[in-house]
Amino acid sequence: MSLLDAKIPAGPLAEKWSKHKFNLKLVNPANKRKYDIIVVGTGLAGASAAASLAELGYNVKAFCFQDSPRRAHSIAAQGGINAAKNYQNDGDSVYRLFYDTIKGGDYRAREGNVYRLAEVSVNIIDQCVAQGVPFAREYGGLLDNRSFGGSQVSRTFYARGQTGQQLLLGAYSALNRQIHLGKVKMYTRSEMLDVVIADGHAKGIVTRNLINGNIDTHTGHAVLLCTGGYGNVFYLSTNAAGSNVTAAWRAHKRGAFFANPCYTQIHPTCIPVTGDHQSKLTLMSESLRNDGRVWAPKTVEIAEQLRKGTIKADQVKEDDRDYFLERKYPSFGNLVPRDVASRNAKEMVDDKRGVGASGFAVFLDFADAIHRLGKDAVAAKYGNLFDMYYQITDEDPYKQPMRIYPAVHYTMGGLWVDYNLSTNIPGLYALGECNFSDHGANRLGASALMQGLADGYFVIPYTLGDYLATIGPKPVDAKHPAFEKTKQDTINLINTLLSMKGTKTVNEYHRDLGHIMWEYCGMARTEEGLTKAKGLIKALREDFWKNAIVVGANEEVNASLEKAGRVADFLELGELMVDDALMRRESCGGHFRLESQTPEGEALRDDDNFAFVAAWEYKGDNQPEVLNKEILDFEFVHLTQRSYK
Amino acid sequence: MSTNNNMNLTLKVWRQKNAETRGAFVTYKAEGISPDMSFLEMLDVVNESLIHKQDEPIHFDHDCREGICGMCSLYINGHPHGPKNAITTCQLHMRTFHDGETIVIEPWRAAAFPVIKDLAVDRSAFDRIQQAGGFVSVNTGGVPDANEIAIPKVIADEAFNSATCIGCGACVAACKNASAMLFVSAKVTQLGMLPQGQPERYSRVQAMVAQMDAEGFGSCTNTGACEAECPKEIKMTNISRMNNDYFSAKLFREEAMHEHAASGE
């Protein structure tokens, strides 16, 4: 085990980033055009980074597996983006956004990173508005805000329930402008399958063209992974069907540390599962908790009647309802952070007070809001979400409360990066959800969009230059043997996958893995359950390589092959997540270790033993990974047990 | 978990190996389908059974499965995204169909959207149109405070309505001329209505229309199928607005157009 240096600049919190920017080396404008930068993924982090670096003069090669960069999964983010603008005059500040985020993350994030995030949040809104992003506005023509969980100010900027779409289209337009100018070369339907490490530095990638199967190598002076999170390891999540861990995982296998893999966000308000056929879970934005009230019936008897359908929710008397978040957390009420809301919904279900046919749901009720504001006002705020709920469930949420249940939504863990967003491999960077850096053990709502764009627009354009200036503009040697070797490794893996003609589909393995992960490595975890899960995943993985079916050939469009490679990586990641969860014998953020709770049954952190980042180091196939620790220093905030009461 | 898997359907699906090979309809049985499944989940079930037989699954584009990424694109029983209004294929649920029904599934059909395989088509023409001018030329940093640009709420809301386009191409698939006017006009209108988009308003519309024509999309004859089938209910008024800007830009010098706009007329 070694101790990792995050390279957080010394000095007062508010001066760290400014001083650091001054101390970073610069690349002179005439030299920038001599550098090639590879950007993998075109979501908020990737598109904003690619566009901003191209504007500076670097040559950018951008890659996405979708048919267009506009379709990256950032597009699906609904609720909003936080920024410490204090436009509402309600007491917000950079320091408050910093503090809320550190606290919301249950004191498992770096102070320096989080402060920088809060600091640049204000620039993000300015940038997006300048691009023509149509944020919601007040009648006076100025920007509107709403509230999100874990904060008592209104600092969330939004564009109806489609904020991610509008922000991504803004970044996509900036990217398009650079493609038009010839500064970005865009590769669509291209999947990164490996990173090329030459003499200890990242110098390129290997991709598969998803149309004709060509395996290509690409050179770059630096490689930026902006490839999102790995929530699909749970099979059912709010992620897009194609979201996967492959780029990050293969980089991990080439030496990049993977940090806090067990930190998963389980979002409280999703549409419940209806059956085994289900391919994804749909989120209902956290913004709904501004006006919706969460409740479950007070008694098991009433819950049973609701489950059988003999009574409907609106027939349950006010006295028979338990608005459990308002009851337990009077100061934050329905706007407690996501982990707290999720855990409480699970408690209701464990208590046999869940509703819906399956019993795995609680209510999110808008009757009061409709009564107070009128149906039209509610529709203006949340109309598209209500329509989506209606489409999926065939129930009208204007008449009956929504049924909601927690689902996997976001992964706070990811590739370990230092303050410069560099992994431990020189030249290999990770941005956005792909890295682990800013959300600790729980991410606050409307902070993912903020982090993706902060990394891409305002952090990497500064920090990358320092590395590039150090290595110099000499062209990358495409003849270095590492390129051919890495390409051959990729081809070998593809050939192995294509030779698998067993009896069970890759999707079936994926679903089995998801069941194990959700059951034992989800919201509540125990030593016993995790130990069992480790054995189950290992057995499943061994079976996968013996009995999975992969059809078709490499030289064609082959979704079966694409999915097989992704599931193979999820099967390895799953085991690491379980190892990480086993090691972390404390309840923190979204993760409740049953062995670690207060007498009242609330999550109990263990700061003496676990105030560190767990960065795992790959040691070869079937070898245990090695734990490296980065100790988290808290100079400016005082660690307390979180309370939202 | 109780699921009612009681629907049996016949599917007539367009299968085509690649862009160079001729395609044909192939008939499949979809059995044990739950009304709660989405249309894509129904296809997942069919594909799983094909893979079990070591057959090639039906290829279709999909990703977010929540109606926003614009990736899914099936032409179902003669309608892009199926028979229901204002939703994408991934939001279409099997309860919309009857037990025993025959469902015909085709790719988008347009010369500018060549088939890649089976039901997936190449929509990169849309990206190239956006690259031609669908942006505001501002670099990162150095922009004014967001609230220095006050925008009347009605304008912001109307621009937002245009901005909700997901770029799926249903408008092209629905149009008998395979015209892309609704898609192009939505972006032109969003930026053309906002103050941030004014400096490039007239050059943008010309560049985007020129690229649209170069890609081989057909002309608009105002039939309105695009608006009727758009999953995001983008209105044809966008096309009127674009035509207005386009013809103004073509008829007058660009500088004169900006003076005209600045005078508030």
Q: Quick one: pLDDT at residue B264?
A: 52
Reply yes or no on whether the pLDDT at A257 is more than 70: yes
First-residue to last-residue Cα distance in chain B: 63
Examine the domain organization and report whether A245 and A277 are in the same domain: no
Examine the domain organization and report whether A461 and A549 are in the same domain: no
Q: Average pLDDT for consecutive 10-residue bins of chain B (265 residues)? A: 74 97 97 95 97 97 96 97 96 96 98 98 98 98 96 96 98 98 98 97 97 97 97 98 95 70 57
DSSP A321-359: EE-HHHHH-TTTGGGS-HHHHHHHHHHHHHTT---STTS
Chain B residue numbers touching A409 (CB-CB < 8 A): none
Q: Quick one: pLDDT at residue A23?
A: 97
A235: left (phi over 0), alpha (psi -120 to 50) or beta: left
State the average pLDDT over residues A12-21: 98
Examine the domain organization and report whether A183 and A285 are in the same domain: no
- Inspect the interface and report whether the beta carbons of A173 and B41 lie closer than 8 Å: no
Decide if A626 is inside a domain.
no
Nearest Cα to Cα of residue B8 among B38, B44, B35, B48 = B35
| DSSP assigned state of A494 | H
Decide if A531 is inside a domain.
yes
Examine the domain organization and report whether A107 and A119 are in the same domain: yes
Which pLDDT band holds residue A540 (cuts at 50, 70, 90)?
very high
User: Look-up: residue for tokens 């096309």?
Assistant: B239
Q: Quick one: pLDDT at residue A589?
A: 87
Q: Quick one: pLDDT at residue A643?
A: 77
Examine the domain organization and report whether A303 and A421 are in the same domain: no
Examine the domain organization and report whether A456 and A506 are in the same domain: no
Distance CA A572, CA B227 (A): 47
The two three-digit tokens of residue B27, written as one number: 């008939």
The residues with which A143 forms a beta bridge, in sequence order, are: A137
Reply yes or no on whether the pLDDT at A30 is more than 50: yes
Provide the strand spans (E) within A210-344: 215-219, 222-225, 258-259, 264-270, 293-297, 321-322
Distance CA B127, CA B134 (A): 9
Where in the sequence is the domain holding A386, given as residue range(s)? 267-406
Chain A nearest C-alpha distance from B187 (Å): 10
CATH number at residue A63: 3.50.50.60
Reply yes or no on whether the pLDDT at A426 is more than 50: yes
Question: What structural domains does chain B harbor?
Answer: 7-117 (3.10.20.30), 123-262 (1.10.1060.10)
Examine the domain organization and report whether A179 and A308 are in the same domain: no
Q: Quick one: pLDDT at residue B2?
A: 39
Contact predicate A363/A295, CB 8 Å: yes
Examine the domain organization and report whether A125 and A157 are in the same domain: yes
Among B1, B131, B191, beta carbon nearest to A358: B1
Q: Quick one: pLDDT at residue A149?
A: 81
Decide if A161 is inside a domain.
yes
Helices (H), A110-235: 111-131, 163-180
Residue A360: closest CA among chain B residues belongs to which residue? B1
- Inspect the interface and report whether the beta carbons of A76 and B130 lie closer than 8 Å: no
pTM of the model: 0.97
Which pLDDT band holds residue A482 (cuts at 50, 70, 90)?
very high
Decide if A620 is inside a domain.
no
Provide the strand spans (E) within A357-442: 362-365, 402-411, 414-415, 428-430
A427-461 pLDDT tens trace:
999 999 999 989 999 999 999 999 999 999 999 99
Q: Quick one: pLDDT at residue A499?
A: 98
How wide is the angle at C-alpha A231 spanned by C-alphas A639 and A252, nearest 5°? Answer: 85
- Inspect the interface and report whether the beta carbons of B196 and A130 lie closer than 8 Å: yes
Model ipTM value: 0.96
Q: Quick one: pLDDT at residue B254?
A: 66
Examine the domain organization and report whether A389 and A426 are in the same domain: no
Chain A residue numbers touching B120 (CB-CB < 8 A): 67, 557
Q: Quick one: pLDDT at residue B265?
A: 46
Decide if A464 is inside a domain.
yes
Contact predicate B168/B74, CB 8 Å: no
Residue of A146, A155, A307, A338 marked catalytic: A338
Is A338 considered catalytic here? yes
- Local structure of A368: helix, strand or coil: helix
Examine the domain organization and report whether A247 and A144 are in the same domain: yes
Decide if A643 is inside a domain.
no
- Inspect the interface and report whether the beta carbons of B61 and A172 lie closer than 8 Å: no
Distance CA A306, CA A322 (A): 14
Examine the domain organization and report whether A546 and A434 are in the same domain: no
Distance CA A210, CA B27 (A): 26
CATH number at residue A575: 1.20.58.100
The two three-digit tokens of residue A366, written as one number: 């808008």
Say how many domains are in chain A.
3
Residue A232: closest CA among chain B residues belongs to which residue? B64
| DSSP assigned state of A305 | H
State the average pLDDT over residues A571-576: 98
Last residue of a domain, which of A367, A385, A406? A406
Chain B residue numbers touching A178 (CB-CB < 8 A): none
Nearest Cα to Cα of residue A278 among A7, A586, A515 = A515
Reply yes or no on whether the pLDDT at A91 is more than 60: yes
Pair type for strands A504-505 and A81-82: unpaired
CA atoms within 13 A on the CB side of B221: 7
Q: Quick one: pLDDT at residue B261?
A: 62
Examine the domain organization and report whether A34 and A72 are in the same domain: yes
Burial classification of residue A645, based on how many CB atoms lie within 10 Å of its CB (0-12 exposed, 13-18 middle, 19 or more buried):
exposed
Reply yes or no on whether the pLDDT at A601 is more than 90: no
Nearest Cα to Cα of residue A550 among A542, A559, A540, A561 = A561
Reply yes or no on whether the pLDDT at A262 is more than 90: yes
